[in-house]
A and B are shown apart, each in its own frame.
Chain A
Amino acid sequence: MMERWVVVARIAVRNVRRQLRRSVLTSSAMVLGIALLMFVRALEGGAHLMYVDTATRMGTGHIAMEHPDYIGSQDVEDRIAGADLDRAVQAVRASAGPDELVAVFPRVNVGGLAQSASSSIPVRIGGVDPTLERDVSFFADKVVEGRYLEPDDRLEAIIGAGVAERLRLELGSRLVLMAAGSGGELESQLVLVTGIFRTGVPEVDRGVVQLPLATAREWLELGDDATSVSVILSADRRTEAIASAIRQRLDQAGVAPEGLAVRPWWEAMPDLHAGLRADAVQTYIMLLILLAIVALAVVNSILMAVLNRTREFGVLRALGLNRRSVGGMVMAEGLILTLASGLAGMLLGLAISVGLFRDGVDISFLFGGDVAFAGAVVDPVIPPAILASDVIAIISIVVAMGILATLYPAWQATRIEPAEAMKTDE
């Protein structure tokens, strides 16, 4: 039995080689198609990583912890008590390895008003710990005037460029922030503009103000409490696992999920997640249509090869190979061709992605300005990145293409009558 498949495979391999020119022509379409898919996905994968990195560094983190009611109410009444905060931080440190954990920081996020001598506008106010956030904060990178917050700051604040414009503020200007405090009363706080940032995302630049966490707590009478805890990880790979480990530890520590929701970024930022998904789906649909056309060409080419060798298959049948073995031989030929092309295409895509465009592809020409995506702004120069999920998806596509493109020709080959072999005409 084994011998049979050895000889069937040998004939299949030699037939692919014998028809090398045809094989190369057929496979080149597939190689290019797969390489294109690989490269486009690598660009999107690179963008994906950047979006996630940017979005998480804007403050949500890879994992966000908040009081479950706060998500809907945005009210400081629904906050995390100081004691739970400590347990949360401990749970994070115990759940993520030292190499995995980049930062964990509490925050006070509230909606309020910013008022200058000239006017007032609604803003999102973030109380941040400069010591903990300085190295990871996206805003720290985007300060265009003045400086980011420092550990000794008290009344200093950084504001978006749009806020500065609308309130006619400069470095050193004063402004008053107003928000509801823990008692439900409107409280106000005077701060000094010490830095102006420009992220490129209009909503952020026109509506975000940050001040030191300690100042925010005092102002809103929050004691040691906070509205959220953000966890920044070195990579996104284990986010899910770490999040559930944190949940488990919090449960053991007596912090019920009703008091503290632990959410990975894709739950905390569903828009971003949906955007990335839509991007991937769109690319796969477009390129699958392309690949379907390629597959038709492959079917055609394998079918021609089968029909040209009617007599040969008749001989094999007459010599005692059954239909299944003959069909298996054509399958083997087709799969050798398509799997090799698929592999070559993936390698080519990989070479283009990490070789040719290792330093990144500037996609700003596509947008004509800042590149923002689902509320996150990104550097328009995208270093391609090949995600494991894409590699798996592309391998599945290659295998599916190989099988689908070969089934019909193989079936045709099984229908060849052995008497064909006896025909005398060449």
Chain B
Amino acid sequence: MTPHPNGDGPHPAVDTHELWKIFGEGSTAVHAVQNVSIAIEPGEFVALCGPSGSGKTTLVNLIGGLTDPTRGTVRVDGRDVGAMSERARAQLRLERIGFVFQAYNLLPVLSALENAEFPLMLRGAGREERRREVSKLFEHIGLGGLEDRRPGALSGGQQQRVAVARAVLGAPALVLADEPTANLDTQASDNLLEVMEVLNRERGVTFIFCTHDPRVMRRARRIIRLVDGHVERDAEKEPGTLPDWVLEPVDT
């Protein structure tokens, strides 16, 4: 397979410059993201870790253009997300970014299959192609036979897998995944992670995970640890290993 056509340009897949997100004002202000400047190259497989409330979800939202930064800039493929029109941002998300939300957020009125194929459909993929891609992936991640169920009739773990399928189908250039394995047993999360590794390896898809899960961190090739909204540590590592600092308690 060829690398993702848009995966290896001259620009980083994601870079942030002195990025701040402050919720509220005055004494009640929450500094969710503080002065974060990171660059993530196309084809990276990055785990974003840190204690609860450290700003992982907020950072990922900023990268995807789902919230506006208080200060600083976010670039995706070298394009300044903050400077884009609302429509251009929607288009960017549609064509380039797959999301896995912390709460799986499937559309309740669509079946599992329809949920998974939703972004493909918006991108204009034909019905045949959509069905083929979805069933191949569903089979692979243990969702075979559940295509026609509505989310309400799926377990939490099954919903989560549908959400991951929705994010990665069609191999977008960038996948932002917020706790994609939180509700899965070892077997299921290994399956999912393998699918993602294959996409990463064979099609150059860039992955950024927010995670508390050592299994995810073990597979990552780079770990960024957030504490109180700023980058406490950012280091490359060998896949399969787990440096001890990732799980260290925060000293305050």
Binding site for B on A (CB under 8 A): 1, 3-4, 6-7, 11, 14-15, 18, 311-312, 314-325, 417-419, 421-426
Contacts and interface: CB of A to CB of B under 8 A. Distances in A.
A311 B124 CA distance: 24
A246 B245 CA distance: 100
A322 B90 contact: yes
A422 B118 contact: no
A14 B121 contact: no
Interface stretch (B40-48, B75-83, B104-112): B104-112
B109 A319 contact: no
A311 B105 contact: yes
A426 B103 CA distance: 8
Interface in B107-126: 107-110, 118-119, 121-122, 124
Nearest to A19: B109
Nearest to B106: A315
Interface residues of B, number: 31
Interface stretch (B59-67, B188-196, B199-207): B59-67
A195 to B, nearest CB: 74
B124 A3 contact: yes
Given A318-B66, A318-B99, A320-B122, A422 B109 contact: no
A313 to B, nearest CB: 10
Contacts of B35: none
Contact of B105 (A3, A15, A315, A322): A315
Contacts of A425: 103
B215 interface: no
A419 B61 contact: yes
Contacts of A320: 90-91, 93-95, 97, 119, 122
Interface of B: 57, 60-61, 64-67, 86-87, 90-91, 93-95, 97, 99, 101-103, 105, 107-110, 118-119, 121-122, 124, 166, 178
Nearest to A322: B90
B108 A18 contact: yes
A426 B119 CA distance: 23
A419 B66 CA distance: 5
A421 B66 contact: yes
A1 B86 CA distance: 17
A321 B90 CA distance: 6
A321 B67 CA distance: 15
A423 B103 contact: yes
A417 B95 contact: no
A399 B57 CA distance: 43
B102 to A, nearest CB: 5
Given A7-B118, A322-B87, A322-B90, 13 more contacts: A3-B122, A6-B121, A7-B121, A18-B109, A314-B66, A318-B64, A319-B99, A320-B95, A322-B86, A323-B86, A419-B61, A422-B66, A424-B103
Given A312-B107, A421-B101, A426-B103, A317 B122 contact: no
